Structures are given as structure tokens and as C-alpha cells.
Amino acid sequence: MVIAIDGPAGSGKGTVTELLAKELNFTKIDTGAMYRAITWEVIQKKVSLEDIEKIKEILCNSKIEFQKERVFLNQREITNEIRTKEVSNLVSQVSHIVEVRNAMVKLQREMGENRDIIMEGRDIGTNVFPNAEVKIYLDASPEERARRRYEQNLEKGISTTYEEVLENVKFRDHNDKTSNVGPLRIAEDAVIVDSTDLTIEEVVETIKKIVEKKEKKENAKC
């Protein structure tokens, strides 16, 4: 089974996906972290976003791996590095480069082969796995999403102001929704879950019920 969780930055996808993956015993894949890893490498190598040949070279030479919550690029751990302001400010643009999108989507489809996965991102239900058995569009108001990101940053010791985070959230929303490449859209058959006034536990329970209902339907077919 593929569970696709799409939604804007800070809608709670990460936490919800992690909890659901543990409860359902599914493999969790954070596709935003993959775009962040490539962005981090672009920054390290000081490559211009116009230099497509160099970007292609980075794509060919970058092996992204997950070990539970940890992210590795060519065996170097970059779990914290991919959450910095520099990466957050550039990742939306990098993720909308056609060559980057194509390479990541291919990798994401391979990662989902022959296993139960829960994959979070922006275009999972619409593009990566259009036949996913369960599609959730997780939403929340921009202010609430910025508040959550700001608190996460504080916990991680990343220094930002709430206003900066809100500005970044709105900037990325705009970029993500208006892009020609892998835009953030609600799949026709997705269930919209608005988490603005829900606790994480309530969101997890809501999605679990949707998954269970789907499982029952699938079993009834056999």
C-alpha cells in the first residue's frame, strides 16, 4: 500500500508521517529532505541554479540515503545541515528545476517498489504515485504553520524570528503552488485534513481511520 501525504510547509506532514509509519509499520519517505539534500550540495559546490550541466553532475553523483530519521548524502550525515536557513530559502527553487524533479521522482518511485510506504511531499498523490491507495492533503493556516516551524527551529537551536519564518512559509507556498514543475495541488481523490485546530494525535487518528476503511474495502474485493 502507498499512503501519499501532501501539503504545504509546516502543515504537520513530517510528524504525522513519522507517527503513522511507526503505528502501521510502513517505511517513511520524506521527499522534501531529498530536495533539501540536493540543495545543500548545490550550496556546498557553489553552483549557480542556471548551470544545468553542473546540476546534472550533482544529481548523477549524489547518493541520498535515509537511516530512520537521519539523512545521508554520499555517506556523509546532513540531517541538521538540510534544515538551515540557507537551504530553506533556496530549496523551493531547486526543487522546481525540471532535471532535479525528474531525477527525484524516479528515485521516489523506486523507493516505493514492493513495500508498504508512507511518502510525504507536495506532488506525491498527483504525480509520483497517482494510483496511491490513500491520498491525504494536510493543510493548516499560514500563521499556524509558521508558528510550528518557528518552535521546531527553537528546539533545534536554529536562530530565526517568527516573522522570518512566516515570510519564508508564504514565499514557499507561492512558489510551490505556482510552479510549472511538480506544483502543490490537491489530488481529485485526496481527503483534505485541516490540522489548524487539531492536535497531532487527532490528525494521526483521522488518517488511521481513512487507512483502515481503505484496507477493509480492499480486503472485501478479494
Residues that bind ligand DC (CB under 6 A): 9, 31-32, 35-36, 91-92, 95, 121-123, 172, 176, 182
Q: How far is the CB of 138 from ligand DC (least distance, A)?
A: 11
Alpha-carbon torsion 94, 98, 103, 109, what sign? positive
Alpha carbons 138 and 117: distance in angstroms, whole number: 17
Residue 92 vs 195, nearer CB to ligand DC: 92
Q: How far is the CB of 192 from ligand DC (least distance, A)?
A: 18
Q: How far is the CB of 157 from ligand DC (least distance, A)?
A: 18
Between CA 207 and CA 150, with CA 141 as vertex, the angle to 5 degrees is 95
Q: How far is the CB of 143 from ligand DC (least distance, A)?
A: 17
Residue with the three cell numbers 514543475: 181
Residue 41 vs 176, nearer CB to ligand DC: 176
**How many residues are present in the chain?**
222
Q: How far is the CB of 202 from ligand DC (least distance, A)?
A: 21
What is residue 125's DSSP assignment? I
DSSP string, 27-80: EEEEHHHHHHHHHHHHHHTT--TT-HHHHHHHHHT--EEEETTEEEETTEE-TT
Residue 113 vs 216, nearer CB to ligand DC: 113
Answer for the pair 61, 74: CB distance below 8 angstroms, yes or no: yes
Residue 178 vs 212, nearer CB to ligand DC: 178
Residue 35 vs 40, nearer CB to ligand DC: 35
Alpha carbons 214 and 111: distance in angstroms, whole number: 22
Q: Which three cell numbers stand for residue 91?
A: 530549496
Residue 44 vs 218, nearer CB to ligand DC: 44
Q: How far is the CB of 221 from ligand DC (least distance, A)?
A: 30
